[in-house]
Amino acid sequence: MKAAVYTVILFIFISLSIMAEQPEKISYGPNFLKSNPDVMTYQTNDRGIPRYVEGNLSGPAKSGDVVAEALDFFENNRGAYKMANPAEELMVERTDVDDLGMSHVRFNQYYEGVKVVGGVLIAHFSADNRLKTVNGTYIDMLNIDTKPNLAQDEAVKTAADDLLSFFGAGEPATPELVVFPWEGQNYLCWRLFIYSDTPMGRWEYLVDAGSGEIVFKANRIMDVDVWGSGISVMGDARDWLDISYTSGTYYMIDYTRQLNNNVHGHNGQMPSGNYIQTNIAGSSLPGSVATDADNYWDVATSQRPAVDGHTYTGLMYDYMLNTFNRNGYNGNGATMLTSVNYSAEGDNNAYWNGSQIVIWSWSTGWRSLAACPDVIAHEWGHAITEYCSDLVYQKEPGALNESFSDMIGAAFEFAYDSLDTPDWLMGENGRTTGEGFRSMSDPHVYGDPDYYGTSDPYWVNVVGCTPSWYNDYCGVHTNSGVGNKWFFLLSDGGVHHGITVSGIGVRYAIKIADRANAFYWN
């Protein structure tokens, strides 16, 4: 009998213990929202929590206080969201009013004072301040300890060491303690970002604040690639700029030519960490990356040259890959940096400096040379030559170096004839008169030779010439006319010095020139 009594007592004790360990059940109230006749659309997630509600969800907000009206909505519908205390769990991130007069209140979710990553609800009001739509994600039934065992400096070290092991060093920002719902579980994590310029990174890390394990990591600057639009120097619309976006700002940085980031269909081969970037230089190089708030790039004096520089450099990468099967100018997908509006050395010029191309500012009667697709391609042509034949920039090899850049500039212009009318002039968009500074079809027009040697009156005699900046390194920009005339004849044909040439077209002529540069010239 005693054994039976002890058994009953033990059973009651265990039952009470189990009951004491169960979390207190919270009464959220019934779900009135689902059956509300004023609700026209009601959609939930897989846990039955509303993710999109549309209808006549309120009358006009009292005194126009849309935040208070939104909180009233959540208070009245705690049962639908399984929300214990909306006033404590929802904090306003911002309130926006659009061009139609509609207000949009964005709330972040918090649990015991800790922000819940991904917990965002947005209330949308009509112009007369009536709540019409609520959408977003609310994480229900949270039950975790919000006291961290891992110090934040330990989390920073964990993340920084991990990033260094495969990507490179960066500068960590201050961590934030968050609740992180991930793959069916809720974690208390230290969340931090680590920034780097070379290679470009904005790495997000979430480190478990209990165990110290890395729960999640991603390079956020690589994950967001958007289309931008703007106006070129010549006033034409450019609607397909490859732009990156982060922290509310648009950047002229293109990651979409990377091998594993083909979001815009370029089929690029750049390795992870390399990219195409356009800077606005001013009086120093390389300047700062071009930025914009609304992703419409149209400020004439600064942004329009950047629009052209970014457009043509991206297309030049595509052209090298598709025409020559060359992964960028060095064959390994090197980063391509273009700086525009450089003003410290003069006007109306452009150059390749061994690591980037630079487009100068412009004077009266001129436009930015960024407006010239042949000039942009010409400068990247110098980069190709440096990594192929490496023709020394003086005398005859320098003239051939210049000539190859003109060849690829013209071929590039013909390849992208929808962006600019192709012709055999170089840099015609640079002058407001439309006059170029070299002619490949008739070099004599601009005082350049079209025939090799001193028998041509415009030939610069390189014999006994000491190369210097003052003599254009013995005529590299003048004697290039010979190679230019050869390329024109090879492409279009014609009669020259009594010889008839049948042209084979620009598309094939540039392949011959490139092959010579890659394998034969020295």
Supply the residues annotated as catalytic.
Answer: 379, 477
Do 18 and 10 form a contact (C-beta atoms < 8 A)? no
Do 410 and 440 form a contact (C-beta atoms < 8 A)? yes
Do 315 and 255 form a contact (C-beta atoms < 8 A)? no
The closest of 358, 229, 365 to 303, measured between CA atoms, is: 229
Q: How many CA atoms lie within 13 A of 413 on its CB side?
A: 23
For residue 498, the one-letter residue type is G
- The span from the CA of 187 to the CA of 181, in Å, is 6
Q: How many CA atoms lie within 13 A of 198 on its CB side?
A: 4
Residue whose tokens read 């969340």: 191
> What proportions of the chain, in percent to the nearest 5, are helix, strand and coil?
30, 30, 40
The closest of 224, 191, 363, 368 to 295, measured between CA atoms, is: 224
Element (H, E) at 251: strand 249-251
C-alpha 461 chain-centroid distance: 48
Give 211: exposed, middle or buried? Use CB within 10 Å, 0-12, 13-18, 19+: exposed
The closest of 328, 332, 331 to 357, measured between CA atoms, is: 328
DSSP codes joined into one string, 468-520: -GGGHHHHTTTTHHHHHHHHHHHHH-EEETTEEE----HHHHHHHHHHIIIII
DSSP codes joined into one string, 124-142: EE-TTSBEEEEEEE---S-
Do 242 and 303 form a contact (C-beta atoms < 8 A)? no
C-alpha 267 chain-centroid distance: 16
- The span from the CA of 359 to the CA of 341, in Å, is 6
Give 516: exposed, middle or buried? Use CB within 10 Å, 0-12, 13-18, 19+: middle
DSSP 60: B
The residue length of the chain stands at 522
For residue 432, count other CB atoms closer than 10 A to its CB.
11
For residue 46, the one-letter residue type is D
Distances (CA, A) of 413 to 316, 323, 446: 10, 13, 20
